[in-house]
Each structure stands twice: as C-alpha cells, then as structure tokens.
Amino acid sequence: MQTPASFEYERATSVEGAIASLQKLGSEARIIAGGHSLLPMMKLRLANPEYLIDINDLAELSYIREGGATTSGSPSQIRIGALTRHVDLLKSELLAERFPLFRDAETVIADPVVRNRGTIGGSLCQADAAEDLSAVCSAAQAEVVIRGPDGERVVGMEDFHIGPYMTAVGAGDLLTEIRLPLRPGAGSAHEKVERRAGDWAIAAASAALWIDGGTIADVGIALSAVGLTTIHLSRAEDLLRGQTPSEELFAQAGEIASTDCSPGADGRGPIDYKRHLAGVLTTRALRRAATRALNQEA
C-alpha cells in the first residue's frame, strides 16, 4: 500500500486564516481541497508537503451565482467559488443554460466518487495539461480571483497557466473565485475522446463563440492533453473572428488545431493520432457551439 510521508494538518476556518497559515508556514505548506490530485501525488511521494491546510469547511467558497461586472467590461458574469465541486457544476442549470460546455465536460470527468469531492479550484490549480476544466475556462474567457497576503488580483485565463503544473497562484495565495463574462449570442461545447468511460482525455477541445448578427464577434478555443499545458488556440481564434460561421471555416480551425498542438506519444496513443483527434474535436466543438449560439439568437 502506498502511504504519504508524514505531515501536519490544519483545518482553515476562514479565507483570511488560510492565507495567514500559508504565509506563516511558507513554501512547505499546501492547500487541500477535494484531495483527488494532491493525495495521489503524496502517496506516490511526488509531493511531500510538510503542512496541509484543509479548506473544506469554507462554505463561503462554494457557490454558483450570477451578478456584477467583470474587469474586462462585461456588464454581468457568473461567479463560481473555488471550492465548488464537480457534481455541483454538473447539476447547475445556470451553467447548462449560459455555458453548456461545463455540463459537456463534467459528464465525462472521472466518476461520481471523484466528482463528489473534486473542486474547480483544485482542478485549475493542479494545472495538469489533461485537466478538462482548464480548457473549458480558457475557452469561456474566464477570469480568476487570487487572494494573497497583499490583497486580491484578477487574472485572465491567458495569463493563468505559466508552465506544466504551474499557475499564477503563488505559494502564499488562495484561488477564491472563477468569473465567466456573460455576453449575448453565446454558444459553447466541450468534446473529448477517452480510452474508457471516466478516464482522462486522449485529447479534448473546448470552444465558445459569441455570434452577433450572424457574424462571429468573439471566440475562445482551448485543448486538453495534447501539450505540456492547456493549449490556447489563438491562431484559430484570429481566423474565426469577424467571419460567418461555416463548416469550411470550422474545418480550417481544426487543421490549425492539429498543427498548433504538441502532443507526446504515450499509452494513450501516438503523436499523429492525437494531432488528428485535436483537429476533429476542435471542428466538432465549434460546430456544436455555433448551433447552440444560433439557436439562442433565433
């Protein structure tokens, strides 16, 4: 049986208390949320924190609600607390209506045991390139709120991932909220291929489109599991912006996805297969996102 190295454990009773503990205990302290990524790493001794700060009692970090303007200028947004569990994302009618790519993704993330405990904050902070929610939040053009000893800052997803398993969340910081800007004409979708139900992706693609008067006003596209980090497809986004949605355009975006990803060969498949999947899944996600956006527009 694998067991973690010994560690000290404390349960945070407030956000401020968790941040103060991180500050006091230094770089050997780690936050634990659902534990579904951190505990397996500790059992394998890939992570050996001396202190765990458990945030599971912080009910104030568990919510999905609408309200407030974003820093990027959208008049309204959906706010998701960092401790919100996968199961709550899956069941949310608000998300299913405004950002259906969340339900697409949550339907195929792991199994009920993982979904009952794992959190959106843990998923994003883990920053595993195969994490579905990182691609979902990148495509949805989310902003995240990070609180540290010097206060709060808001970071766009384009600046969130700074390397494999590395994010803008520093050693003394807590991710507290994910914000999704609400704009008219939105449609979104997440497409994934896995080896068997509940497995990590061989490849996955998330897409969000904002259609105004039949034209793509804005777009976000991101890939999981086909590079060292979540891949943001800015070249494909540039191609689509200002164009009329069409099958040919989405096929071109798929070709860019196949070129701009950088998968490695492993037990999930060879490089050319993963590149092929990245292209096909990007085209499919865009097609479904556009259908959803146009149905809303009508």
Ligand X SMILES: Cc1cc2nc3c(=O)[nH]c(=O)nc-3n(C[C@H](O)[C@H](O)[C@H](O)COP(=O)(O)OP(=O)(O)OC[C@H]3O[C@@H](n4cnc5c(N)ncnc54)[C@H](O)[C@@H]3O)c2cc1C
Residues engaged in binding ligand X (CB under 6 A): 30-38, 82, 109-110, 114, 118-119, 121-123, 125-126, 131-133, 169, 174-175, 200
| Smallest separation (angstroms) from ligand X to the CB of 34 | 3
Q: Which is nearer to ligand X, 30 or 288 (CB)?
A: 30
Round to whole Å and give the CA distance between 260 and 256: 6
Helix residue ranges, H only, 26-140? 38-43, 86-91, 93-98, 101-107, 112-117, 120-126, 132-139
Helix (H) / strand (E) containing 193: strand 186-194
**Parallel/antiparallel/unpaired status of strands 76-81 and 174-182:** antiparallel
CB of 74 vs ligand X, minimal distance in Å:
23
Per-residue exposure over 225-244, b if at least 16 CB sit within 10 Å of its own CB, e if not: bbbebbbbbeebbebbeeee
User: What's the closest the beta carbon of residue 204 comes to ligand X, in angstroms?
Assistant: 8
Q: How far apart are CA 206 and CA 247, in angstroms?
A: 17
The residue among 42 and 257 lying less far from ligand X, judged by its C-beta, is 42
Nearer to ligand X among residue 82 and residue 140 (C-beta): 82
Cβ distance to ligand X smaller for residue 87 or 182: 87
> In sequence order, what are the residues at sequence separation of 6 or more whose Cβ sits closer than 8 angstroms to the Cβ of residue 270?
none
CA contacts within 13 A on the Cβ side of 88? 16
Q: What DSSP designation does 85 have?
A: B
Q: In this complex, which beta carbon is closest to ligand X, that of residue 122 or of residue 181?
A: 122
Least distance to ligand X from the beta carbon of 244, Å? Answer: 33
Task: Pick the closer one to ligand X by CB: 119 or 188.
Answer: 119
Please state the closest distance from residue 114 (CB atom) to ligand X, in A.
Answer: 5
CB of 277 to ligand X, least distance (A): 15
